Amino acid sequence: MAQVMIDIAGTALTAEDKQLLAHPDVNGLILFTRNFSSIEQVETLVADARAASNGPLLVAVDHEGGRVQRFRDGFSAIPAMARIADLPEQEQLAAAQDLGWLMAREVRAVGIDISFAPVLDINGCSEVIGDRAFAREVQQVAHLAQAFIEGMHEAGMGATGKHFPGHGSVVADSHFAVPVDSRSKEDIFNIDLPVFDMLADKLAGVMPAHVIYDQVDAQPAGFSRYWLQDVLRDQLGFNGLIFSDDLSMQGATVVGDMRQRAVAAIAAGCDMVLVCNDRDAAFELLQQPLPATSARSRSRLQAMLGATNYERMDELQRSNRWQSAQRWLERFNS
């Protein structure tokens, strides 16, 4: 079982989209802002995508809050995670948990399985991370992220920690460059890795960074057996699903063409590879069978699929729990 997550261009499926979703190696769909016009439309889109698939389909979105929230109209405006630390200390954990629940529950309300959240990076010099991270200090990141994850779990959504082992200490953006983090192994293990270590048993998924940690390994983390097998699986004991970051990003190009990237990511230990914003590359990738992933990968995928008996958005917004969570948004907007 190979597991590929693709994207689509519009707000409804084309014949070509349906062809790709029916491919036996495609088990995931990621949605972007371009795929959203209304709550009713995205509900229909998700249902149509599942009908087009020949197997279980994991539907995902990047909906962290702040700068990275794909859907706006009809959804709560979740603040950037760094804003939580602006609250009085005694309120921060409650706010993090309620915001994790609110984000996840609204995403689930339109039938989407997961949001790729939370960011577990330490906020350092990286502008692409910046206020997407909870804080600059390990313990604070871990405590706030754990509360946020508990809220996601309450909403029926598994959490995906990113960007392993840490993207906060490189200036370059892996969407447009090949970032190299030349810090020592000791620094990375002391500063970035502890958050993933503390939360490994609470995460259903992990997404590695397209960053080369050249004092540790020559390959970007998402293509490195050392990072994914020796460290993440063996040392940290992580048993969930490993997603590649988007293989179309510039940070992945050092590995070769799209097929070489996908094969290398699977060989390193990724359970699902993302191929976004390059339809020709997706078609080319799927012309030949990919290396088979394991039965364990299938069970990891099944564990991330959401329940189907979710409350729709209008019902959710009438609930006391939703109304209570809105108080935090009022605080951030006051």
119 φ, ψ (degrees, to nearest 5): -75, 125
Question: Which stretches in the chain have pLDDT values below 70?
Answer: 1-2, 172-174
How many structural domains are present in the chain?
1
Report the alpha-carbon distance of residue 190 to residue 184 in Å, rounded: 10
Report the alpha-carbon distance of residue 202 to residue 120 in Å, rounded: 12
**pTM of the full predicted structure?**
0.95
- Say what the pLDDT of residue 294 is: 84
148: domain range?
4-333
- pLDDT per residue over 125-140, tens digit each? 778 899 999 999 999 9
Task: Respond yes or no: is residue 167 known to be catalytic.
Answer: no
- Give the Cβ contact number of residue 66 at 10 Å: 16
Domain CATH number, residue 48: 3.20.20.300
Show the tokens assigned to 320: 């006391």
Show the tokens assigned to 185: 């192994």
- Give the Cβ contact number of residue 88 at 10 Å: 7
Catalytic residue among 181, 245, 246, 271: 245
- Say what the pLDDT of residue 103 is: 98
- pLDDT per residue over 38-96, tens digit each? 999 999 999 999 999 988 999 999 999 999 999 999 999 999 999 999 999 999 999 99
Q: In the chain, which ranges are E strands? A: 4-6, 26-31, 58-61, 63-65, 68-69, 114-115, 160-164, 205-208, 241-246, 272-275
Q: Which residues are annotated as a binding site for substrate?
A: 62, 70, 132, 162-163
Catalytic residue among 153, 175, 230, 278: 175
